[in-house]
Amino acid sequence: MRSWIIGACLTVLVSLTAKAQEMVPVSVVLPQERGLAEQLTLSGSLTALHNANLSTRTAGLVAELLVDAGTTVVAGQPLLKLDATLAEHELAQQRAAVYAAEVLQTERLRLVTEAERLTAQQLFPQTELALRRAALAEAQAGLQQAQASLMQQQEIVARHTLTAPFNGVIAERNTDVGEWLALGSPVMQLVSLTPLLLDIRVPQEYYAALSHLRQIEVTADLLPSAKLSARLLATVPVGDSNARSFLVRLEVGDEQHTLLPGTSATATLFFERDDVNVLVVPPDALLRHPDGNFSVFVIRDNLAYRQNVTVGRSSEQGIEILAGLAKSLPVVVRGNETLRDGQTVRIVDSIRPVGAP
């Protein structure tokens, strides 16, 4: 009798042990109902905000080159100087003419002041005072003319020096010392390094959704591990009839100045609409079938049940489930690879969904 009881206990213990071993440990997550989110990835090329072929504002002989290709410059920095010897001589003559006009004006002002004092004492005729005042006005006009000629000549001299119109780097130099430059001849190419722009072609079906753009991330091929922020700078509301797309220009944030114009980059646009709610699960919850369909395992009373689902678009928050899943049942995200329909499970972890409060 005693041996029978011991045998029965051993049988129950073995049965419980086997049943415990059959319980598969899984991690679950509750499906989330949230605003429709979508992402669109497009490639493009980084371009500079300013890219100019510089030329001198007057013809002349190149006397001095102050920069070369690859030189970083700031706005207003001299880049090239032409031979300005004759212009500077003319400038000296204009300065002398201004000085002579100032002396003449000072003398005629003295004569007018003297005549006014004598006239007040009735010791000087009124007609002579009027003549002296006319001579003073003529001297003042002559001084203004001389000053205008001086400023004109100063501008002519200044035009013999080519300066940078904006901050950037010299991408190309097309002249050398001793070369004669005609008016308008391109001598240097100046390219700005910041801000950088990214031009992408957005499909026509997404053009209206740009008003719901929530976030933009840019990955440059020059820095594949870095995620850069960007903002929508401009949209061109004229479509390409061949590609059925619109041009969108983004301004890329590059505080470290590590990107270069002309290199390629990829922009990921994140859209969201608060007026449409969908059911979202993590990508790990989905099991792909050989026929291309998908299913998930849901948990009810510690039992796993396979349910076929219809998936929609993917986003940073997960995969959109269009049909086949109730939001009240947790889905398996870990341990679902070897699960069988109706198998007993043991929940070991409940994972918080991405973006859940």
Instruction: Report pLDDT digits (tens) over 196-251.
Output: 899 998 888 787 778 778 888 898 888 888 888 888 888 877 766 666 788 889 99
Say what the pLDDT of residue 352 is: 65
Token duo for residue 265: 């980059």
> CA–CA separation, 343 vs 305, rounded Å?
8
CA angle 31, 34, 35 (to 5 degrees): 150
Q: What is the pTM assigned to this prediction?
A: 0.61
Say what the pLDDT of residue 102 is: 97
Say what the pLDDT of residue 147 is: 97
Question: In terms of Cα–Cα distance, which of 160, 161, 149, 162 is closest to 90?
Answer: 149
For 322, other C-beta atoms within 10 Å of its C-beta total 12
* Average of per-residue pLDDT values in the chain: 85
Question: In terms of Cα–Cα distance, which of 345, 318, 320, 319 is closest to 334?
Answer: 345
For 56, other C-beta atoms within 10 Å of its C-beta total 24
Say what the pLDDT of residue 64 is: 96
> CA–CA separation, 280 vs 169, rounded Å?
48
Question: In terms of Cα–Cα distance, which of 334, 328, 331 is closest to 348?
Answer: 334
> CA–CA separation, 197 vs 44, rounded Å?
10
Residue count of the chain, please give it.
357
Chain center to CA of 191: 16
Q: How far lies 69's CA from each of 8, 142, 170, 210, in Å? A: 93, 48, 5, 40
Task: Determine contact, residues 53/79, Cβ cutoff 8 Å.
Answer: no
Number of H helices, E strands in the chain: 3, 21
Q: Position of tokens 């004006």?
A: 105
Pairing of strands 168-173, 51-55: unpaired
Of 2-6, 220-224, 305-309, least confident by mean pLDDT is: 2-6
Instruction: Report pLDDT digits (tens) over 6-38.
Output: 454 444 444 444 444 468 898 888 888 766 557
